[in-house]
Structure 1
C-alpha cells in the first residue's frame, strides 16, 4: 500500500489493527496454554474494536486534514509493514504475547509522534496527537487488563 496522505495513514492503521486481530485469532486454536488462549481472544477482540475506532476517524474526519500530504516524511522514516503474523502466537506464553503486542503498538505510536512533530497544519497536528493518545491509552488499557489474566 502506498501511503501518501493522512487518510492513507489512517487506512494503514485500521488495516494494521484488523490484521493483528486476525493473527491473534489464528493463534487461539493452536495455543495449548489456557491463559494464553484467553489472552489471545481478548487481544483479538480489542484489536478489532481499535480497527473500527480508527475507521471512524478515516470516514468522519475533515477531508482537508485527511488529504494532507505526508509522503516526504514517510520517505525518510517508512512505516512498518504488517509483519506480526510472522510471530507464532500459538508458541508464545502470555508474557511474550503482550511484549509483541506492545512492540507493535509502539511502532504505530512512534509513527504518529513523528508525523505530528512535522505537521504544518494545526488540524492535522491535532488529529495525529489524538491518534497517538488513543494508541497510548489503548495499549495501557490492554496491558492493565492482561495483568488480570495473571491473577486467574
Structure 2
C-alpha cells in the first residue's frame, strides 16, 4: 500500500489491526498450549476492536488533518507489513506472543509520535494525540489482560 497522507496511515493502521486479528485467530486454532490459545483469542478480539475504532477515525476525522502529507517518514522508517501472517504465533509461548505484539504496537506508536511532532496544523496534532493515546491504552490493556491470564 502506498502511504502518502494521514488518511493512508489510518487505512494502513486499520488493515494492520484487522490482519493481525485474523493472524492471531488463525494461529490460536493451531497452538497446542492452552494458555497461548486463550491469549491469542483474547488478542485477536482486541485487534479487531482496534481496527473498528481506527475505521471510525477514517470516517470522522477532519479532512484537513486526513489530507496531511507524511510520505517522508515511510521512506526513512519502513514499518512492519501487515499483508500476511508472518509471525508464527502458533509456535510461541504466551511471553513470546506478548513480546511480538508489544513490539508491533510500539512501531505504530512511534509512527504516531513522529507524525505528531511534525504536524503543522492543530487538527493534525489533535488527531495524532488521540491515535497515540488509543494505541498506548490498547497496548496497556492487552498487556494487563495477558498478565491476568498468566496468574490463572
Structure 1-normalised TM-score?
Answer: 0.95
Match of 1:113 in 2: 113
Deviations 1:89-121 (A, max 9, x none): 010001100110000000000000111111111
Tell me by how many angstroms 1:83 deviates.
7.0
Contact persistence 1:30–1:90 (CA under 8 A): yes
Match of 1:10 in 2: 10
2:82 match: secondary structure = coil
Tell me by how many angstroms 1:66 deviates.
0.7
In 1, distance between residues paired with 2:40 and 2:134? 21
For these two proteins, the number of residue pairs brought into alignment is 152
Task: Give the alignment of 1:30-41 within 5 angstroms.
Answer: 30-41=30-41
1:85 match: secondary structure = coil
Contact persistence 2:27–2:40 (CA under 8 A): yes
Q: Which runs of 4+ in 1 moved over 4 A?
A: none
In 1, distance between residues paired with 2:8 and 2:114? 16
Structure 2-normalised TM-score?
Answer: 0.95
Match of 1:148 in 2: 148
Contact persistence 1:84–1:104 (CA under 8 A): no
Match of 1:50 in 2: 50
Contact persistence 1:18–1:51 (CA under 8 A): yes
In 2, distance between residues paired with 1:77 and 1:90? 29
Tell me by how many angstroms 1:45 deviates.
0.5
Match of 2:125 in 1: 125
